[in-house]
Amino acid sequence: MRVLIAALVVVGSTQAAVSQDIYVNDLEGCAMMASSPDGDLDFAAEGGLLLGETGYGSLEYHCSFEPVLKFDWSKPKVTTHVGYCEEPGPYITPKLFSVLLDPYSPGEVTIFTGEEEPQRFYACKF
C-alpha cells in the first residue's frame, strides 16, 4: 500500500509539473485538495480517483496505461491506450482504454473501458 501511496504522490507531482490542473473523478476532490496540503491523499483515502498522464488510481485501486495521455483539447481527439487495473490481492485485469478529449468540454476527460458507463475526470484549477 505504501508503494501505491507513493505512486499517487508521484502522479500528482508529475501532473502538477505538466500543468496546473489535477484531474479528479468527483469535483468535491478539488475542494479537499485546496483546503489541505494532504488533500490528494484524503480524497484518495475516501475512494476518489486521481488521473495522471499514465493512469488513474486511489489508495487501493489503480489503472496504468500507455502511451502517455496528452491533455490537449485543441481539437476533438480519441486515443487508445493499453494497460491494466489492479486491486489488493493482487487482482490484475488487462484493459483497453479509449480516451475522449472534446474541445467543447475542456478540462473533462472521458475514459471508456467497455464498462456500462465511462469514467469521467474533471480538472481542478488551482
Query: What's the confidence (pLDDT) of residue 4?
Result: 43
Query: What's the confidence (pLDDT) of residue 21?
Result: 84
Query: What's the confidence (pLDDT) of residue 52?
Result: 96
Query: What's the confidence (pLDDT) of residue 89?
Result: 87
Cell numbers that stand for 79 in this block: 486515443
Mean pLDDT in order along the chain per 10 residues (126 residues):
43 46 95 93 96 96 97 97 94 97 97 97 92
Which residues, at least 6 apart from 60, have a Cβ–Cβ distance to it below 8 Å? 1, 4, 87, 88
pTM: 0.82
